[in-house]
Chain A
Amino acid sequence: GDSVTQMEGPVTLSEEAFLTINCTYTATGYPSLFWYVQYPGEGLQLLLKATKADDKGSNKGFEATYRKETTSFHLEKGSVQVSDSAVYFCALRGTYKYIFGTGTRLKVLA
């Protein structure tokens, strides 16, 4: 069945460091792909999405490119801030549901 694999966390970075959170997927066809962010004590917020191969989603300085060849959708940010500390979830869209990865906790230190 469809699945999403994310890198294990937690990831701890200093402010202004470069961030990469790896995400790969297994699916039939070419599903839409998403990154959601969950700040402490809050719900899931859509961060960015890509609906077809080679699409690049971007928002708030975060980017991810839909790579069909490597079945990947890695999240990147050039310079993280303390306020980016959260849990990041990669997800793919099935017919009636989203399938989420396990989440990667990011901690940014000042």
Chain B
Amino acid sequence: EPEVTQTPSHQVTQMGQEVILRCVPISNHLYFYWYRQILGQKVEFLVSFYNNEISEKSEIFDDQFSVERPDGSNFTLKIRSTKLEDSAMYFCASSANAGGRTDTQYFGPGTRLTVL
């Protein structure tokens, strides 16, 4: 069964450094998403992406965040200057379409980001 993959599984970085989290969505999916989960808390939406544009973003997704689909398979989340509070599990998801009743988002295993 096709699945969403994410790399790395764990990233440790120093505060102020840039990090890039990588995702390979399911191959025929057109909509891509990033969510984050601070330890012990709920999963929060960050951003959705379609046709090389951001469709929607949350208030968490400020100017230090950016997303990109650099080629036909990868989808990346860049955090420009990491802060301690960026430490979280970041989940990538993809779906075949958006908004339809039968649409389902499929989540990757997550990247745990630790900012020291």
Contact = CB atoms under 8 A, between A and B. Distances in A.
B75 interface: no
Contact of B55 (A34, A43, A96): A96
B56 interface: yes
Interface string B92-113: 0100001101111111111000
Contacts of B93: 98
B110 A96 contact: no
A97 B33 contact: yes
A46 interface: yes
A96 B56 contact: yes
Interface stretch (B14-22, B40-48, B80-88): B40-48
Given A43-B110, A95-B56, A100 B42 contact: yes
Contacts of A100: 42-44
Interface residues of B, number: 26
Contact of A49 (B41, B56, B104, B110): B104
Contact of A89 (B43, B45, B105): B43
Given A42-B109, A44-B107, A46-B106, A51 B99 contact: no
Given A43-B107, A43-B110, A32 B101 contact: yes
A73 to B, nearest CB: 15
A96 B104 contact: no
A11 B109 CA distance: 24
Contact of B103 (A42, A93, A99, A101): A93
A83 to B, nearest CB: 19
Nearest to B109: A43
B48 A102 contact: no
Contacts of A52: 101
Contacts of B102: 32, 51
Given A96-B55, A98-B43, 12 more contacts: A32-B101, A32-B102, A42-B109, A43-B110, A49-B104, A93-B103, A96-B31, A98-B93, A99-B45, A100-B43, A100-B44, A103-B43
